[in-house]
Structure formats: structure tokens, C-alpha cells
């Protein structure tokens, strides 16, 4: 039996809401851990996963004719693929696939996964080094379909795909299967990290693949960085010990989830991956494979219908973490249940650190949008618009202390005054670095697992601020005149009003 993960869940939000508000923003902190794994494998591999959790890897390598220009492009891609093979843990199931208008097995020759050992690694690297540029044409959907075919029999493993291309998915329309159908079928089988080299691939295509398949998409302008990047991606994927965790959300009547995003360590939308349970007002939101780590999520609950001020705290929703058989009643809860409540006021609720957190989260998304917009404008020939967008991005990245964004932007603009966003385009801007400025994850340096929980909101304006009585249940001191205990875990109601101080 696989050992159940140890998971903690904490919800942090403002319980007091004004009657004219219809949204409650909740920050969810989730930490997952498992028992220590097996000893490290060769070449500094991370520890093996606990119990019988295994790992499977498929490398999808572009073999189209454009990979021969320049000659070093395909050679560096081969070296990176070999580096990924060398990084695999003993016993890992793996395959290498070459892609053009179709997908062809490189290693093994038949359509199955080989176990990683000294012999199969050597054979696979020899096969990779024999790859020559193939026919013109790129159908990335066919490559992904091949990876799904190889990995589908191994759903009990944590399955990962590395995809490398230098071109656009220009012939997908000739395929019998649309990209939408391919991605829908692959979504529950594997995660995918996609990389683009050169300047002729479409950033929107790789971004879409990464978002749908819960991975990352990025540009690698310097081909010397490709092998280290592949090694790091494989090590990160092998460090995952949980195939998938999901946030299970149960909403009360009149309440819906309008936003659910991962906010740390990188922003990722979960709404598009939702799996409603049949016949129940419950939805699972898969979050992908985990290592022993902590993540933060942002949920927005939208409330409809009439509400009354001064009423008891209203239950809006409950949240828990589940694993296994996600999207069905057979999924196993592995965390405590957090209940989201709201108490409605007929006056404005005070702004708290929760609001500041939400503002920073929106700023991180705005920064990514500005980076993307600048690159898109420059690729369309609008250098002035690109410079304006990237200038605002530099100012925002400086405010957020986002070093990754500043590093990427520094390759395409000369930063003259970072705080004010004064920049100028570098002469002869390298198209590869333009793509790198656009790509990468939406990093969230503002959030971290060590961040202290945001304090609960102060009492609403107009309530007395002098000390009040101690609650007879939990001994928490409330403000004078309070109707309810300030400890929301207790929520004791003072019948007939709060007793006078000293009673």
C-alpha cells in the first residue's frame, strides 16, 4: 500500500464583508510531505519516491529540417537529450521520440518504455546521436499523442514529458485530431515542460501546451544552457512524490467559485482543470504532482442573493485536499476541512494585509502580461509600444523585487531608471531574447511558505475599541459591546449583549 501523504491546509481571509460586496477572497496554504525515500541514485539524483511511487519520462525532440540551421542546433539538442537520459534514476521508465509531421520512436525502437539502467542509457544515447534532420513539417499534436500512448499504461507512475521544438505547429490542421482533443486526452496522463530554441517557434503555442498540461514553457536563447536546463527539469520532475493532489471545494447555495489560482511558487490557473463531481455541488481542482513542498492558492467566492447585516456568520464553502480518483466520490481526503464563512456589515469593512496580498498577486499577473505584450508588439514591428510596455514592466518588477523578470527584461532593454520605468530598446535586439522576455512562469516572489499568516481583520469601524469581557468559553477578551466572541474558532454569542467589563 502506498503511504498516504501528510497534508496541512490553512485558510486565511477577511471574515467581515460589506453588504455591497459580492466577493470573498481566500488564501489557502497547503503543505504536503511524505515519508523519506530511498537513497539517492547515480549522478546526484534526488531521493527516490516513497513506497511504490515510480517515475516515467518521455523526451520529444524536434527532428524537422529546420533543426539543421545552424548545425549546432540539433547537436545541442542531442546533448541536452542525452543529459536528460543520464539524469534518470535507476529503474525509471523512459523513451525518446523524434517529431516531424509524425512521431517516430528513437529509443526503444518499439512503442514501449524501457527501464533506465547503464545498458539502456548507453543504447538510448547512441540512438539519439544518430538522429538526423528529417522532413519538413511540424505536428506537435502527433508528438504529444505518441507520448500519451507510451505513458497511458503507466498511470500508476508520475509521468513527465520534455518537449523541444524550434518551429511552429504549422501542419496540425492536416492531422486527423485537433490540438484541443490531443490536449484534453493528455491532461490526465502527464505533465509537460516545453522549450523553444531559435526564433521561429510560436510562444503562444508552447504557453498553451504548458498551461493545459500543468508544466512550464520557456525560451533557451543560449544553446549552451539547454543541457543544464534539461537536467534541472528532470531532477525537479523526479523529485515529485505525489502523483496529484486536488482542492475539493463544496459551495453553499448561491455561492460559486469565480477564481482559483495557484499563487506560489508560480501563478497557475486551476479553473480550466476543474472536475465537478456528478450529482453533487462539489468540484475538484487538480494541482498536479507534488514533492514535499508548500504552495499557496487564491480562491474568490462570488455570492448572489440578498444578505442581512448583523446576522450570524454565514457558511459560504468548505475546502479540503483529496488524492486518488480525483473528480469522484472515491477520492481520499488527506487534510482537515477549512470552512469559509462571512459576516455581513452595513458599513465598509476595513482593509487588511489580505487585501495587500491580493494586490501583489494581481501585480505579478500584470507584470507577466506586460512582458508578453512588449514582446508581441516588438514582433509586430511596434518598437515604441514595446518599449513602453517593457518600461512599465521594469518599474513593476523593481517594486515587486522580481529578479527573474528583471534579468529577462535586461536582455532586451537598457534600464536607465528602474523605479520610474525609463528604458530604451537595446540595438539589434536578439529575437531569441525577445522570446525569453515573454516566456517563463509567472513567478510569485511576493509569496512564500515561510510567510507569517495574515492577521484577521480588525473590528469594523464604529465598534468600541476599549477592552471588553473574557469569553466564558475560550477566555478571549472581546471589545466592549461585542455580540460575538472575537475568536472565530469559538464564535460564542453573548446572549443579551456582552457582559459589562469585570462581570
Q: Among candidates 83, 445, 43, 89, which has minimal Cα distance to 241?
A: 89
Higher-pLDDT residue of 61 and 134 is: 61
Alpha carbons 146 and 96: distance in angstroms, whole number: 10
Beta strands 93-99 and 55-62 are parallel
C-alpha cell at 20: 455591497
Regarding whether 272 and 332 lie in a shared domain, the answer is yes
- Dihedral in degrees, nearest 10, Cα atoms 228, 229, 230, 233: 120
Residue 445 lies in a domain: no
CB-based contact 437:450 (threshold 8 Å) = no
The predicted model gives 168-174 an average pLDDT of: 77
Residues forming a β-bridge with 339: 318
Question: Domain containing 343 — which CATH number?
Answer: 2.60.40.3670
The model carries a pTM of 0.82
47 and 19 in one domain? no
pLDDT band at 9 (very low <50, low <70, confident <90, very high): very high
Which range of residues forms the domain containing residue 60? 42-238
Q: In whole angstroms, what is the distance from residue 70 CA to residue 198 CA?
A: 9
Same domain? 54 vs 26: no
* 64 pLDDT more than 80: yes
CB 482 within 8 A of CB 467: no
Question: What integer best gives the mean pLDDT of the chain?
Answer: 85
pLDDT in tens, 88-99: 999 999 999 999
Residue where a domain stops, chosen among 223, 238, 253:
238
Cell numbers that stand for 7 in this block: 497534508
288-316: average pLDDT? 88
| Torsion, CA 206, CA 208, CA 213, CA 218, rounded to 10 | 30
The predicted pLDDT at position 461 comes to: 40
- Range of lowest pLDDT (52-56, 168-172, 224-228): 168-172
Q: Would you say 147 and 58 are in contact if contact means Cβ atoms under 8 Å apart?
A: yes
Residue 59 resides in a domain: yes
H or E stretch covering 261: strand 255-264
SS3 293: strand
**Whether 151 and 211 share a structural domain:** yes
Q: Does residue 480 lie in a domain region?
A: no
pLDDT score, position 302: 95
Closest CA to 57 of 132, 117, 109, 115: 115
Does the pLDDT value for residue 78 go beyond 90? yes
- 10-46, pLDDT tens digit by residue? 999 988 888 888 889 999 999 998 544 333 333 344 4
Domain limit, last residue, from 348, 375, 401? 348
CA–CA gap between residue 411 and residue 206 (Å, rounded)? 21
Write down the pLDDT at residue 448.
Answer: 46
Given a cut of 70, whether residue 187 has pLDDT beyond it is yes
Question: Is residue 468 included in any domain, yes or no?
Answer: no
Structure confidence at residue 343 as a pLDDT band (50, 70, 90): confident
Given a contact cutoff of 8 angstroms between Cβ atoms, the answer to whether 62 and 132 are in contact is: no
* Sign of the dihedral defined by the CA atoms of residues 265, 268, 269, 275, in that order: negative
Long-range contacts at 171-175 (CB < 8 A, ≥ 24 apart): 171/101, 171/137, 171/138, 171/139, 172/139, 172/140, 172/141, 174/101, 174/139, 175/139, 175/141, 175/142
Q: Which of 215, 238, 261 is the last residue of a domain?
A: 238
What CATH number does residue 371 fall under? 1.20.120
Pair 261, 268: CB distance under 8 Å: yes
More confident residue, 476 or 306: 306
pLDDT for res 421: 96
Higher pLDDT, 283 or 312: 283
Q: What is the mean pLDDT of residues 437-457?
A: 58
Same domain (yes/no): 231, 284 = no
In a domain, 127, yes or no: yes
Residue 349's pLDDT is: 64
Output the nine-digit C-alpha cell for 495: 446572549
Instruction: Calculate mean pLDDT across residues 364-374.
Output: 95
- Cell 514595446 sits at which residue? 386
Q: Closest Cα partner for 247 from 293, 187, 186, 288?
A: 288
Q: Percentage of the chain with pLDDT > 70? A: 82
**47 compared with 59, residue with greater pLDDT:** 59
| Count of domains for the chain | 3
CB 89 within 8 A of CB 48: yes
Cβ burial of 117 (10 Å; 0-12, 13-18, 19+) is middle
Cis upstream peptide for 173 (omega within 30°)? no
Residue 436: pLDDT band with limits 50, 70, 90:
very high
SS (H, E, C) 142-178: HHHHHHHHHHHHHCCCEEEEEEEECCCCCCHHHCCCC
Show the cell assigned to 121: 542509457
Task: Answer for the pair 466, 447: CB distance below 8 angstroms, yes or no.
Answer: no
In a domain, 133, yes or no: yes
- 473 lies in some domain: no
474 in any annotated domain: no
Enumerate the H helices of 348-430 as residue ranges.
353-379, 383-400, 403-409
Confidence of residue 443 (pLDDT cuts 50, 70, 90): low
Amino acid at each position: 500500500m502506498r503511504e498516504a501523504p501528510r497534508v496541512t491546509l490553512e485558510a486565511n481571509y477577511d471574515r467581515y464583508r460589506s453588504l455591497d460586496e459580492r466577493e470573498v477572497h481566500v488564501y489557502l496554504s497547503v503543505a504536503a510531505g511524505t515519508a523519506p525515500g530511498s537513497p539517492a541514485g547515480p549522478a546526484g539524483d534526488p531521493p527516490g519516491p516513497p513506497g511504490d511511487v515510480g517515475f516515467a519520462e518521455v523526451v520529444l525532440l524536434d527532428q524537422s529540417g529546420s533543426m539543421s540551421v545552424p548545425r549546432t542546433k540539433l547537436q545541442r539538442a542531442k546533448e541536452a537529450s542525452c543529459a536528460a537520459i543520464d539524469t534518470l534514476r535507476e529503474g525509471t521508465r523512459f523513451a525518446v521520440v523524434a517529431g516531424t509531421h509524425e512521431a517516430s520512436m528513437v529509443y526503444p525502437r518499439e512503442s514501449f518504455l524501457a527501464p533506465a539502467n547503464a545498458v539502456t542509457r548507453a543504447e538510448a544515447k547512441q540512438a539519439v546521436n544518430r538522429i538526423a534532420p528529417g522532413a519538413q513539417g511540424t505536428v506537435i499534436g502527433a508528438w504529444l499523442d505518441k507520448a500519451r500512448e507510451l505513458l497511458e499504461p503507466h498511470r500508476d507512475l508520475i509521468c513527465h514529458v520534455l518537449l523541444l521544438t524550434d518551429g511552429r505547429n504549422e501542419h496540425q490542421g492536416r492531422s486527423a485530431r485537433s490540438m484541443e482533443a490531443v490536449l484534453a486526452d493528455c491532461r490526465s496522463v502527464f505533465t509537460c515542460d516545453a522549450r523553444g530554441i531559435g526564433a521561429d517557434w510560436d510562444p503562444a503555442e508552447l504557453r498553451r501546451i504548458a498551461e493545459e498540461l500543468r508544466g512550464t514553457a520557456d525560451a533557451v536563447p543560449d544553446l549552451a544552457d539547454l543541457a543544464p536546463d534539461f537536467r534541472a527539469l528532470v531532477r525537479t520532475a523526479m523529485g515529485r512524490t505525489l502523483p496529484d493532489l486536488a482542492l475539493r471545494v463544496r459551495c453553499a447555495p448561491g455561492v460559486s467559485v469565480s477564481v482559483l489560482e495557484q499563487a506560489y511558487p508560480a501563478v497557475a490557473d486551476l479553473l480550466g482543470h476543474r472536475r465537478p463531481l456528478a450529482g453533487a455541488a462539489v468540484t475538484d481542482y487538480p494541482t498536479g504532482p507534488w514533492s514535499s513542498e508548500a504552495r499557496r492558492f487564491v480562491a474568490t467566492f462570488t455570492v448572489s442573493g440578498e444578505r442581512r447585516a448583523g446576522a450570524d456568520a454565514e457558511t459560504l464553502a468548505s475546502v479540503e485536499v483529496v488524492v486518488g480518483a480525483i473528480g469522484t466520490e472515491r477520492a481520499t481526503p488527506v487534510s482537515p476541512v477549512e470552512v469559509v464563512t462571512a459576516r455581513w456589515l452595513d458599513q465598509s469593512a476595513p482593509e487588511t494585509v489580505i487585501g495587500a496580498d491580493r494586490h501583489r498577486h494581481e501585480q505579478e499577473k500584470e507584470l507577466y502580461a506586460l512582458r508578453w505584450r512588449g514582446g508581441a508588439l516588438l514582433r509586430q514591428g511596434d518598437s515604441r509600444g514595446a518599449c513602453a510596455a517593457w518600461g512599465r514592466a521594469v518599474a513593476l518588477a523593481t517594486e515587486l523585487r522580481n529578479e527573474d523578470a528583471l534579468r529577462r527584461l535586461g536582455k532586451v532593454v537598457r534600464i536607465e531608471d528602474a523605479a520610474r520605468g525609463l528604458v530604451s530598446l537595446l540595438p539589434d535586439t536578439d529575437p531569441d531574447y525577445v522570446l525569453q522576455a515573454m516566456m517563463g512562469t509567472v513567478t510569485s516572489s511576493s509569496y512564500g511558505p515561510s510567510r507569517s499568516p495574515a492577521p484577521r481583520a480588525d473590528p469594523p469601524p464604529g465598534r468600541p475599541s476599549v477592552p471588553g469581557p473574557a469569553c466564558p468559553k475560550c477566555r478571549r477578551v472581546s471589545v466592549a459591546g461585542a455580540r460575538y466572541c472575537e475568536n472565530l474558532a469559538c464564535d460564542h454569542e453573548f446572549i443579551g449583549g456582552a457582559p459589562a467589563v469585570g462581570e
